[in-house]
Structure formats: structure tokens, C-alpha cells
Chain A
Amino acid sequence: MEQLLNIFPGIVSFSQMPIEMAIARVILIFVGFGMIYFGYKDVLEPLLMIPMGVGVCLVNAGILMMPDLIDPTKQKLGTMFLDSMVQTTDQHINAMQVYFLQPIYVLTFSNGLIACMVFLGIGAITELDFFIGNPKLSLMLAIPAELGTFLTFPVAIWMGFNPKEAAAIATIGGADGPMVLFASLKLAKNLFVPITVVSYLYLSIVYSGYPFLIKALVPKKYRGIAMKEMTITKVSAEEKLAFSIVTGTVLSLLFPVAAPLFVSFFLGVIIRESKVTRYMFFADEIILTGSTLFLGFILGCLLSADVVVEPTMFKLLILGFFALFISGVGGLLGGYVVCWISGGKINPLVGIAGVSCVPSTAKVAHKCANEVNEEAFILPYAMGPNIAGVITTAIITAVYVTKVPLL
């Protein structure tokens, strides 16, 4: 029996770890199955949840005793996927000979490149017309939708996190995955895996979760406002190009630490507006698709039992929920304000689209309005605050990344 078990070190590894870790491993394997199933059923965002679920399942199944690269005289439980704990150049080089995902992790995660690649792809698929055509309304709605990013910081401090960790956690309120990844890599590398996983997990359920918030806070008569009297100004490609170049330059000048994010996003927008079809195809179909796949898969592979059993994970789940809940409430409050200013012409639901989960929150606003009034087609008006939300989230992340290290 013992010989038979030695042929299967993955099974033996259950007896070589503390019982709570072994239980967490089994639970995580089922969580991975759940991610794949709900991704397949379109309940959760399939582009991320399917590769993440596969990573979670396989990394928690394929554990074995292997040499410790940090201290070669010892052995430790690990996987053949990657080791996120190695730090020195020698350890990285050695790890790249052993772990098949280590090259991608070292070259794209450690420096935030993966977040920039996703952001470049988002820029390349972003339609700026609705935002630039109605900038005042869009930006007015994007600011209150950052309420969660603002209020989560003191709550995280109250829960025992240091300022850098609290700022990284607070960015979940911006509801923009690449931003959370970038902020946590810059400010709290020790927590970037749980923070990013919690963030993406919640972002993938925004589409099914926010309708409950909307129905609880907005009466039917407001939800059904059709916005027929509103118009969207047409915007030329020249105007969008000039805006991207000027804004990208000014924001990079103000916040050099976050310049990689601004450069990536506005490069994507400029590629789109320049109509260079080869680059458009490359940025959208190859860079965005490829980086989303590896982002999901590697995050899944980093979600091992030892990460989950940390008490920090429970706090992060609470703070992530709080951040997105408060941002949603802030967005709806902003929506009520513009509804009141416009004399009831603007549907307050466009406010929640200021939470920059492109395009999920805009679709949620449209869906909830359309359920009440079939003539309410608010998606084009919701896309403006949605894109403005991406820009304000990039700005608030840049301010946190710049100011927090100075504390």
C-alpha cells in the first residue's frame, strides 16, 4: 500500500500537511469546479473564471514534496506550476528551469506588465464617443461612483492593514481589475494574490449582484425614465485622438508612477482611433485575449490552500464587498443628483455605470431600466459614465500609488 501511495505523491501530500490545509485544498478543488461551471453557464465572467477555475483545481491537486529553491538543503510542499516566493535573481533563474509558468510570472506579473497589457486591450475596444460627447454628465457621475475607493481606505486601516495594503484594497472600489492588480503589485506585493482574486471574483458577479442594489434603492418610476429628450453629440476621430494624446501626456506628467497605465490605455485608444487595422486586431484579439487568459490562469495557480487559510482572506472578502457596495450606492446617489438637476429627464440608473466595470455596469443599468419600461434604451447614455469611470479609477489609483509611499 505504501509503495502504491509513493507512486502518487499528490495523494501522499495530504498527510504531509496540517489538517486545515488539507481540508482547504479539497474545498478549493471544488471551488475551482464551481468557477468553471458558473463561467460555462455565464453566471460568472467566463473569460476569467474558466482559466482561473482550472488553475485553482489543478494547483491544489498537483502538490508534491520538492526541493526548496530558497534553501536547497530543505524540501517543501509545492507544485510544478510556479513559486511566487523566490526573490533573488539566482532563485528566479533556477525557478525558471523548474516551473513552467515561472517565466510568464517573472516577466509579466512582477513588474505589472500584465495589467498594462489588459489595459491596452481595453483601450483598443473602448468607444470614447459617449464620453467625449457628454463629458460633464459622464465625469459628474464617475466621481460619486468612487465613493467605495475613498471610504474603504479608513475601514481597512481600522481592520489592521497598513496604509499601503489599505490603499491597494481600496482600489477594489474602482471595480477595474487591471487597476487593482497594478496597485497591489506596486503597494502590497505580499497581498497581491488574495486582493486581485477577491477583486476579480466580485467583479465577475457585479452583473448579477448590482440589480438587487438598484431594485432596493431606486423606485420603479425612476428606473423607467426613457431619456428620450437627451441627445449625444457626434465626436470626430480627430477629437478623440487629440484628447487621448493630450490627456495621456498631462496625466503622465502629473503621476509618473502610474504613467505605464495611462500610456497603455491611451495607446489602445489611439490605435483604435487611428484605424490601423493590424494593430487593432493585435491589441484586441491577441494582447487582450492572451493576457486575460494568462491573468486568470496564473491567478488561479497562485490561489493555493495556504493563501486561503490566512485570516487576511476573510477580511479581504468583507472589504471587497464593502468597497463595491459603497461605490454602487455612491453611483446611484450621483444618478439621483443629475436626475434632480435635469428635472427628471435623466434616469438615475446611469449613475451606477460610473462604477467602471466596463461594460457590465452600463449593461446592468440598461437591463434594469428596460425591465420596467421597454422604451427605455439608456445604454448609450450609461456608456459615457462607464468610460469616465475607467479614467477616474486610473486617476485615483495613480494618486494612491503616488501619495501612500510618502506617508
Chain B
Amino acid sequence: MGVWDAFKFALNVYMITTVITVLVWVMIVLVGKFTKKG
């Protein structure tokens, strides 16, 4: 694997992580809507 390919692969991993992180945020918002507030 070349350095440029490695960079593109790592960027892809970073983007997937960002998308999943947004999903986690959505889950927090949804869970907040259906549960009792503190």
C-alpha cells in the first residue's frame, strides 16, 4: 500500500467515524425524547 492510498483509506475511516458519531448524537436526541428528563 502506497502512502497516498493509505491517506485515502485513513480519510475514509475518519469519515465513517464522523458519520457514526452523528448517529450517536441522533440516538441521544431520540432517547431524550422518549425518556424522563433529569
Whether A and B are associated in the same complex: the answer reads yes
Report how far A333 CA is from B21 CA in the complex, Å. 18
By the criterion CB–CB under 8 Å, are B6 and A154 in contact? Answer: yes
User: A48 near B: Cβ within 8 Å?
Assistant: no
Report how far A166 CA is from B7 CA in the complex, Å. 12
Report how far A258 CA is from B7 CA in the complex, Å. 23
On whether A243 and B21 interact (CB within 8 A), knowing A150-B11, A154-B7, A234-B37, the answer reads: no
Scan A339-365; emit 1 where CB is below 8 A from any B CB, else 0: 000000000000000000000000000
By the criterion CB–CB under 8 Å, are A143 and B21 in contact? Answer: yes
By the criterion CB–CB under 8 Å, are A391 and B38 in contact? Answer: no
Binds B, one of A131-139, A188-196, A285-293, A296-304: A131-139
Chain A, Cβ-Cβ closest to B28: A135
Chain B, Cβ-Cβ closest to A151: B10
By the criterion CB–CB under 8 Å, are A158 and B25 in contact? Answer: no
A131 CB to closest chain B CB, in angstroms? 8
By the criterion CB–CB under 8 Å, are A163 and B1 in contact? Answer: yes
User: A246 near B: Cβ within 8 Å?
Assistant: yes
The CB with the most chain A CB atoms within 10 A, among B14, B17, B29, B32, is that of B17
- Per CB-CB distance, the 10 closest pairs between chain A and chain B, nearest first, are A234-B38, A157-B6, A153-B10, A154-B6, A236-B38, A154-B7, A150-B14, A239-B35, A135-B28, A396-B17
Chain A residues in the interface with B (C-beta under 8 A): 129, 132, 135-136, 139, 142-143, 146, 149-151, 153-154, 157-158, 162-163, 166, 170, 233-239, 242-243, 246-247, 250-251, 254, 388, 391-392, 395-396, 399-400, 403, 407
